[in-house]
Amino acid sequence: MYENEELLRELLEANPGKVYYRDKHGRSALHIAAQNGNLSILDLLIEAGADVNSMAGPSALCATPLHVAAVAGRLEAVRHLIEAGAELLATDLRDHCALELAQMANQFETACLLIDAIGLFEQIITMLTLDSCLGYIISAISIKQIEEIIKNDRKKIWS
């Protein structure tokens, strides 16, 4: 099912709730697509409403799809997840973020992409906080809200 786009599309059309299905380890179809680097399935699941920040169960270390894509060195899957709003600094059960996992797995290209994404994110936060006339607003909103503000512009940033 996770490799057959047409079958998955039909399944999701017949039962949209299946996008939330999890295996015995708490992994979603999005986790599997990210791990395998299957971009068409990944995009289909995201379009169907799959949560790009969903955590697997404890037996799968509470990893997010970004974590598993980073460990597997699935560079384009990582890029797609970032563009879809994956939390760059989310940690797994062992308190590792995707960047740390990529580095530990010797996935250097993936690590570089994540470093760039995290650096860009931090630059935007710094700019908004220090250099912008909007800086005074930052104290009243959370990082989550800031992420939402820039989420819509991520595709422009990565173009």
Q: What is the mean pLDDT of the chain?
A: 82
For 78-135, what is each residue's pLDDT tens digit?
999 999 999 999 999 999 999 999 999 999 999 989 988 988 666 666 665 555 545 5
User: What mean pLDDT is predicted for residues 27-39?
Assistant: 95
pLDDT higher than threshold 80 for residue 28: yes
> Quick one: pLDDT at residue 4?
80
pLDDT value of position 1: 47
Q: How many residues are present in the chain?
A: 159
Is pLDDT larger for residue 89 or for residue 145? Answer: 89
Tell me how crowded residue 86 is: count the other CB atoms within 10 A of its CB.
24
- How far is Cα 99 from Cα 118, in angstroms, rounded to an integer? 9
Strand partners, 22: 28
Which residues have C-beta within 8 Å of that of residue 43, sequence separation ≥ 6?
80
What are the beta bridge partners of residue 28? 22
User: What domains can be seen in the chain, in order of their start residue?
Assistant: 5-158 (1.25.40.20)
What mean pLDDT comes out for the span 61-76? 97
Average pLDDT of span 32-52:
95
**Side-chain-side CA neighbours of residue 92 (13 Å):** 23
Of 9-23, 114-128, 131-145, the one with minimum mean pLDDT is 131-145
